[in-house]
Structure 1
Amino acid sequence: MTILITGAAGFIGAQLGKQLLERGESVVGIDNLNNYYDVNLKKARLAQLANYSNFLFTQLDLIDRTGLTTLFTREKFRRVVNLAAQAGVRYSIDNPYAYVDSNLVGFVNLLENCRHHAVEHLVFASSSSVYGLNTKMPFSVHDNVDHPISLYAATKKANELMAHTYAHLYGLPVTGLRFFTVYGPWGRPDMAYFKFTQAILNDQPIEVYNYGQMRRDFTYIDDIIEGVIRVLEQVPEPNKTWSGDSPDPGSSLAPYRLYNIGNNQPVELMYYIETLEKALGRKAQLKLLPMQPGDVQATYADISELTKAFDFRPQTAIEVGIDHFVRWYKSYYPTSS
């Protein structure tokens, strides 16, 4: 079986590729290698995959309709994992068209190719940001998510709607995964924990929004990868009990499912910073600031559906995950330590 991973040079994509390759799967990875953050980090992730004989990388953008169709025609993918997207909540406020191109146009191109090339299962990355103004905790896939507060979140919600349409019209089996604040080695430099580490090691203040009154369901990368692989292996079936009289957003009469993947244990931001300080052996200089536009005060994943369907729940403690990240950071950026 040949598996396509889009966004293969990304944080999650590269780690997923490595795990699938070690299991003996044939993997084709694509990425546009844009400069949203350090391209050298993306290339370093890809370098880890290059030694596997069952890996092929092609630099390709999802908005390249012709190139994508050529790739699907040649490789005959049976399963696809879409991790390619323009990421970042705050970046979407100033750069909206980057999200329209990648997250909307690109996703339609991918759906069309999955439809026309008889892909057995498409798994795509959604986000906890789709919960927007929802305040009922924990966030459940059975709740409506109609009030996003960033364009990034709106595009992820749109992806879920577009995917359901293709599942309904063409019987394309699709599963959407709402990731909750993924962190760990080889992570994204635009994420807070990465910026915090860099600033603390350089004796610079860290920017702490909402005066530190934030909670996040931080989820370690290995748990995310384990969840994605388990989901990828199980093709979704229609929910025969689904009713339009009381429609469940998390399933459908079509072969469509949504799942949260989170640690199911929200952590106070200030405790997260304290844990990072202990791992680094240094104190942070705090610059307390008000809430930023597009941000939410708390995230908390209800993972009951994930656990029921796959007998799986993330278990990595925040102290363990941060320690692994700090060790990696100091080895990747040795001059900073």
Structure 2
Amino acid sequence: MTEGTRTGPVLVTGAAGFIGHAVAHRLLDRGERVIGVDIVDDYYDPALKEARLATLAGRDAFAFERADIADADRMRALVATAGVRRIVHLAAQAGVRYSLENPFAYQRSNLQGHLSILEASRHAPGFEHLVYASSSSVYGDRPMGGAGFTEDEPAGAPVSLYAATKRACELMSHSYAHLYRYSQTGLRFFTVYGPWGRPDMAIFGFAAKILSGDPIEIYGEGRMARDFTYIDDIVDGVIGALDHPPAPGGQRLLNIGSNDPVGLLDMVRSLERALGRDAVKVMRPMQPGDVTATYADVSALMELTGYRPRVRLDEGIDRFVAWYRDFHDM
């Protein structure tokens, strides 16, 4: 999509979130108008979310709506009134383990919220493209062989409620694309990290504990591996997907990751190096809902958009640690 063909503002849900805040900045940097939506809940520290929003607040082309995406009437009115034709829908209740404690939060935010955005999209005049966040967790606990997970693999055996809601969102989107003939892209995110990240994610949480001298719990006895992907690379993929919609009525699923899984203990060693401190490690068994490994085959996204992850884990962790020390005035 070229500069001259962009139409109307882009709605970014989850704009106070880690990925949403970064996507909003990138869209603004290239001259887009952006409407951000977020409820700013207390799943993790709202002060971090407010700090992210503060970086967007002074930008002339940014407007913010503090709203619940599950409020279907409000979302439909907002999209129609603002002339929104493209949406990047990233708002969701995240976290695998949290879904064991608060299952109904996932019903409202992930299922009802996604349906609300689908309804708002299908009623919007001239609507062009909905890009929404799915998750690598939909693949279940698939043994990792020599190749990455591909989008055509079965995704019918989720091992957490979070994963089940994300797969349900994909199926709802498929039906809406078919029924109402508008373009949708679901992005199956793998593990994202970097500055402004989520405190419930491993790299952020481990950094805080290592610096405070508290022990870190390593689940799966250290055997787990994750496809860690730096935030700037993720944003490249999100924007690339937004700019390449499928044909009207098409619903496409794409992996977005680094295509380079790293063992959890290797990640910890990289973090120890960047922090200049050793971690006190406590080995724990696998937790309910966890998967052993994630590994993204991103060839489809590469072919479509030219996506190429560039930031290696050591470099990305160095950038994260520099941000963390600055943010916490350390």
TM-score, L = length of structure 2: 0.95
2:130 to 94, 98, 122: 122
Give the equivalent residue in structure 2 for 1:314. Answer: 309
Give the equivalent residue in structure 1 for 2:178. Answer: 168
Give the equivalent residue in structure 2 for 1:245. Answer: none
Structure 2: 5+ residue stretches without partners: 1-7
8 Å Cα contact 1:184/1:325 also seen in 2: yes
**How big is the shift at 1:176?**
0.3
1:147 to 130, 140, 157: 157
**How big is the shift at 1:256?**
1.3
Quick one: distance in 1 between partners of 2:132 and 2:48?
A: 23
1:65 to 60, 72, 93: 72
1:4 to 3, 11, 21: 11
Give the equivalent residue in structure 2 for 1:259. Answer: 254
**How big is the shift at 1:66?**
2.1
Q: Does 1:35 align with 2:42?
A: yes
Q: Does 1:185 align with 2:195?
A: yes
Give the equivalent residue in structure 2 for 1:199. Answer: 209
**1:95-147 deviation line (CA, Å, top 9, x unaligned):** 10000000001111110110010320000000011111322541100111000
Give the equivalent residue in structure 2 for 1:287. Answer: 282
**1:50-89 deviation line (CA, Å, top 9, x unaligned):** 1111000010001112221221121010100000000000
Q: Does 1:233 align with 2:240?
A: no
SS at match of 1:124: strand
Quick one: distance in 1 between partners of 2:251 and 2:144?
A: 24
Matches within 5 A, 1:99-138: 99-118=106-125, 119-135=127-143, 137=145, 138=148
Residue-pair matches, total: 320
Aligned residue identity for 2:82: E
1:208 to 218, 226, 246: 218
8 Å Cα contact 2:11/2:86 also seen in 1: yes
Quick one: distance in 1 between partners of 2:144 and 2:121?
A: 35
Moved more, 53-62 or 309-318: 309-318
Aligned residue identity for 1:15: A
Give the equivalent residue in structure 1 for 2:4. Answer: none
8 Å Cα contact 1:134/1:145 also seen in 2: no
SS at match of 1:284: coil
Give the equivalent residue in structure 1 for 2:267. Answer: 272
**How big is the shift at 1:314?**
1.2
8 Å Cα contact 2:141/2:292 also seen in 1: no
8 Å Cα contact 2:87/2:131 also seen in 1: yes
Aligned residue identity for 1:333: H
Q: Does 1:55 align with 2:62?
A: yes
Structure 1: 5+ residue stretches without partners: 239-253
Quick one: distance in 2 between partners of 1:73 and 1:216?
A: 40
Aligned residue identity for 1:20: L
**1:140-178 deviation line (CA, Å, top 9, x unaligned):** 001110000000000000111000101101112000001
Quick one: distance in 2 between partners of 1:274 and 1:117?
A: 49
Quick one: distance in 1 between partners of 2:261 and 2:310?
A: 13
Give the equivalent residue in structure 2 for 1:221. Answer: 231
Q: Which runs of structure 1 show a deviation greater than 6 angstroms over 4 or more consecutive aligned residues?
A: none
**How big is the shift at 1:235?**
1.3
Give the equivalent residue in structure 2 for 1:95. Answer: 102
